[in-house]
Structure formats: C-alpha cells, structure tokens
Amino acid sequence: MVKLHEISVESYVPHAVFVPFIGLTSLRTDSGLPQANISSSNDHTPQSILLNVCGRLLLLQQERGGSSLILQKASKRNTSQSVTFLPPVMIAAWVESIWTISHQNSTNPYLSNALWLCCGLHGMKVWLPLYRKVDEPIFQSHRIMLTFGLTIYPLAVVVEEAVILGAMSEFENFNSKSFCSITKTTQVFLNHVFQELIRK
C-alpha cells in the first residue's frame, strides 16, 4: 500500500463511531458543463470526499487544480502530497444510505451524475446537476435537491432502469396473532423526479 494523502477531518468529526460512511466521489457543487462539451479526461476522477457524520452528509471539495486524490501512475517514491479543500458543504440531514455512480452515462448525464440519499421518514432525496450554458452566470446554482416519498425502504438504486429496489413490510393477522412479512419489490422513481422538478 502507498500512502497518498493525510487528510484531517477532526474539525468535523467528534469521534469515529459517528461516521457510518466516508468515500471518494467526483461530484461537486459546481457541475459545470455537460460531458459532451468537456474535453478534459479527468472530470470523473475523485475530487471530493463524502462524509456522513451522525446523519449529516458533508461534501469536502478539493480546490481546482490540486493534486489528484488517487494514484495516477506508479511512483518509486513513497511521498504523500498535500491536498487543499474548500470549506465543507452540508448536503442533507437525516441521511441513512448513499448511492453514487462511478461512471457517467453520456446519454443521461443528469441521473448518472446525481447523488441519491435515503433519509428515513424524511423520504428519498436526489441531488441533481443543473448544467449551465456557456453564456450563463457562473454564480447561479448548479445543483438542485429534490425530495419525494417512497412506499418501500430503498436498498439499491438502478439508474439505468429508473427504478429503486427495496423491501416492503406488511402485517397480517392469523388466529388473533400478528405476523410481519417482508417482501422485495421495486418502485419507479422517474415520475417523482419529474413532479418535483415541475414544482420547483
């Protein structure tokens, strides 16, 4: 193993037991332009860190032009590089589960470049990119958070099929006794996304 970076998050994490999830991602608050208009090949490399602290999802974004968070080429020197991050951004609260896609689909960049969150009783959240045109102001928001309810508990998100895989529980009475049956099922999410976009 090669040590690449040493990143301190003690300012945001009181104790390691409060961190159920931490991972690398290429998502940023400034989504930029669609992939078809981007010539750089490094736009899908990890540039940010997702950190779930007690249900609060933080996004630590690396400054533009910094060294890569992953090893690009094999090096004989075991030297770590310094990484500078922007102030953290809290994306959502009450986060239980997180789904991202490691590769982007050029035919559907909006869903493949989104962040999917399960927030328990607060429903399902999706952090969608809003790709701007070249002549639009750069200070406008590049992402939007949509919230919609589910009739199942999500276990996985299949973006290519526009469905959420999950489990559903039902109570049944038999001989004055209650039984709980759990079944696996799916739920289409694309209609919920469209409804929330229309409301926004």
- Identify whether 78 is part of a domain: yes
pTM, to two decimals: 0.79
Tens-digit pLDDT profile for the chain (200 aa)?
677 778 888 899 999 999 999 999 888 887 654 444 444 445 567 889 999 999 999 999 988 766 666 655 545 555 556 678 899 999 999 999 999 887 666 677 788 889 999 999 999 999 998 876 666 655 555 789 999 999 999 999 998 888 999 999 888 888 888 888 899 999 999 999 989 988 87
- Identify whether 160 is part of a domain: yes
pLDDT, residue 21, reads: 95
Q: Which of 90, 74, 68, 81 is nearest to 24 (CA)?
A: 68
Tell me how many domains the chain contains.
1
- Identify whether 184 is part of a domain: yes
- Identify whether 85 is part of a domain: yes
Q: How many CA atoms lie within 13 A of 53 on its CB side?
A: 18
- Identify whether 6 is part of a domain: no
pLDDT, residue 170, reads: 87
Q: Which of 7, 9, 5 is nearest to 51 (CA)?
A: 9
- Identify whether 87 is part of a domain: yes
Residues spanned by the domain of 162 = 16-199
- Identify whether 33 is part of a domain: yes
pLDDT, residue 39, reads: 43
188-196 long-range Cβ contacts below 8 angstroms, 24+ apart: 188/162, 188/163, 188/164, 189/124, 189/126, 189/148, 189/157, 189/162, 189/163, 189/164, 190/162, 192/124, 192/148, 192/149, 193/126, 193/128, 193/146, 193/148, 195/148, 196/146, 196/147, 196/148
